[in-house]
Structure 1
Amino acid sequence: MDTTWHAGEQALQQRAGFLDRLAEVGPQVIRDHMPDQHRELFGKLPTMLLGALDASGQPWATMLAGPPGFVGTPDARTMTVAARLDGQDPALAALRARGPGAPVGLLGLEPHTRRRNRMNGRLTALTEEGMTVGVVQSFGNCPKYIQARDPIAWDDAPAGLAQPLDAGLDDGALALIGEADTVFIASASAAMPGEGRSDGVDVSHRGGPPGFVRQHRRLDGGLELRIPDYPGNRFFMTLGNLLKHPRAGLLIPDYLHGDLLHLAAEADVVWSDDERELRLRVTAALRRPGALAWRWTSARPAPQFTA
């Protein structure tokens, strides 16, 4: 029996008309080890995206950074990340609380070349200087919708104190979201994922023109973010997770100043004809000033947004 896809992914694949095809393709492209070309990319990355679950089942997304080479792959089934771990980071706090065996979603994305690969696994070790993760799933992603930008400077200044925000956010956070062309989403197949190949935590990328994340103030005063789901590889990993476990962790990076905005949200997938939209009701927020040490050039728009 194929265990590549869990029930949420299969339900959406069936609705889109790709279930049978992906049942064949899945075992070929979702591997239990990292191919050499993925290991080569991971080894030269300046950043690594990470998704984790806290004790309540809330996913959190974060971005780790270091000089190229800070991500290592000593063998095809093991990844190391040599980055000092900030105690104020909600995703890392979740991993510390759960310890070895905790599910981890990792995304290696090189913005200036638009290359990206994903690896979902299990934490095997965590110290103040980094972590080790064992591979469960390894797979590639196409370069669509990635806004290219280059790392230009490393800022060694200590990060500022994390700032908890009301779920309605403040003007600075709302402005950052309104200008964002890149968002990362952490999701999970369950509040306590099991050991199966298709059951765990995932972190994925969403890109679009500035303003593609729309803000909607609800009648109860809450903030809802709406993100279009552009056509991709049709795996429906993020959306399939949200169908089973409708909670998401968002990360909005400020590439100019190095701030990271972490959001927790309740999630719905709205499907109308061939169009899909994520609707995310913000429930908690945390701003970490200067948490991203790299500074970057302005974005060069993805080809999909220049036609």
Structure 2
Amino acid sequence: MDRYHQGSLAVQERVGVRELAEHVGRSIGAGIKDVAAAFLELQPHLVVGAADGAGRMWASLLTGPPGFVRATGPHRMAVAAGVPAGDPLAEALATAGTRVGTISLDPRTRRRMRLGGTLEVTARGFAVEAERVFANCPKYIQKRQPLELVAEGTGVVRRGGALTPDQERAVRAADTFFVATTAADGVDASHRGGMPGFVEVLSPVELSWPDYAGNAMFLTLGNLATDPRAGLLFPDWESGAVLQLSGTARTEYGPDGSRSVRFRVESVVEGLHPGRLRWSAPEYSPANPALPPHRGSTTR
């Protein structure tokens, strides 16, 4: 299998990690190993990235009792759930052939696993025929413990084309978000973490965040080099609310070797869904870089 497309290869070359990326890329496979299958069955949530009918990229959060996500074969992951009504990906996740990227992240253990492939509709939800499966290191994952499952909810609370002041505060306070991107070889869903304030709100329609050193694959930045569409998901861990943004993004390279991503907001969906999971306050990752003195608002 081709582990990287031209976008990722170009970023790896520019940053000077091509050899390391080739070594790390050997972990990417098409099969779900036993250890990965066991990990999936313990998880109470799953992030799914895909494009909606208009071609906009989104990332959505699915929740359920452990076992609602499980491997049903060496190349197949079944999900016994769907997104709530009104979610931007409700139609896409009910359509056979949708290209999806998923990430299962366990805040309890700081483990995460990514799986991408093609969707198949099932009687209980959907399944994904896996084309790319791999685990990531625990860097930048905040440790949390699940508290309770909240049955009631109001669904989609607000839609718009820009962030409200409350939504801006939520983004500034975030220590975690998920990002969905796409390229010719499929969709990828990934995780970004840091200290509260690591995501800057430049305006109601523009965000920026630093690209911290990672696994050298540059799958997200590689996708953005070929297709600027992106979907962001900001979970409010303590309330279970979700903030979903769709738009476009580009990578900016600094003269000192630093990298940042600039995101342009085109559509916003805020939700408080039934069946959401509330988590404890975080134990921040020791890998999180310190923020510049002018950054770091934690007020919601």
Structure 1: any 5+ residue segments left out of the alignment?
Answer: 194-198
Match in the other structure for 1:10: 9
Identity %: 38
Alignment of 1:97-116 (within 5 A): 99-116=95-112
Matching of residue 170 in structure 1 with residue 152 in structure 2: no
Q: Indicate yes or no: 2:162 matched with 1:180.
A: no
Q: Give the length in aligned residue pairs.
A: 289
Given that 1:258 and 1:292 are in contact with CA atoms closer than 8 Å, whether structure 2 keeps it comes out as no
* C-alpha separation in 2, matches of 1:291 and 1:243: 37
The one-letter amino acid of 2:116's match is N
> Counterparts in 2 of 1:116-155, with a 5 A limit?
116-127=112-123, 129-155=124-150
**Mapped contact 1:87–1:93 kept (Cα < 8 A):** no
CA deviation string 1:277-305 (max 9, x = no partner): 01001111011123561111001100113
- Rounded Cα–Cα distance in structure 2 between residues aligned with 1:88 and 1:279: 27
Confirm or deny: 8 A CA contact 1:258 1:291 kept in the other structure: no
**1:276 Cα deviation from its structure 2 partner:** 0.8
Aligned to 2:197: 211
1:278 maps to which of 261, 274, 278? 261
- Residue identity matched to 1:210: P
SS of aligned partner of 2:89: helix
Residue aligning to 1:196: none
Deviations 1:18-48 (A, max 9, x none): 224434552x211010121111111100111
CA contact (8 A) 1:248 1:267 kept: yes
What CA distance in whole angstroms lies between the structure 1 residues aligned with 2:106 and 2:57?
23
Where does structure 1 differ by over 4 angstroms across 4 or more consecutive aligned residues? none
* Residues in 1 aligned to 2:266 and 2:274: alpha-carbon distance in whole angstroms: 22
Q: Establish whether residue 201 from structure 1 lines up as the match of residue 187 from structure 2.
A: yes
SS at match of 1:303: coil
Is residue 241 of structure 2 the alignment partner of residue 242 of structure 1? no
Output the CA distance in 2 between the equivalents of 1:57 and 1:166: 17
Amino acid at match of 1:280: F
1:62 paired with 2:38, answer no
- Report deviation, 1:306: 7.9
| TM-score, with structure 1 as normaliser | 0.89
Paired residue type of 1:57: G
Listed as ranges, the gaps of 5+ residues in structure 2 are 291-300
Q: Distance in 2 between matches of 1:263 and 1:289?
A: 15
The AA in structure 2 aligned to 1:260 is: V
Matching of residue 19 in structure 1 with residue 18 in structure 2: yes
Amino acid at match of 1:90: P
2:296 paired residue number: none
Residue 231 (structure 1) aligns with: 213
Establish whether residue 260 from structure 1 lines up as the match of residue 272 from structure 2. no
Q: 1:64 & 1:51 partners in 2: Cα distance?
A: 11
CA distance in 1, matches of 2:89, 2:70: 20
The 8 Å contact of residues 53 and 95 in structure 1, kept in 2 or not, is answered as: no
Correspondent of 2:30 among 10, 14, 32: 32
1:53 matched to which residue of 2?
Answer: 51
Cα deviation 1:32-72 (Å, max 9, x = unaligned): 10121111111100111110112332210011111111111
CA 1:101 to 1:177, structure 2 compared with 1: closer, same or farther past 3 Å?
Answer: same
Cα separation, partners in 2 of 1:43 and 1:15, compared to 1, 3 Å: same
**SS at the partner of 2:7?**
helix
Query: Which residue in 2 is equivalent to 1:75?
Result: 73
1:305 and 1:23 mapped to 2: Cα distance? 25
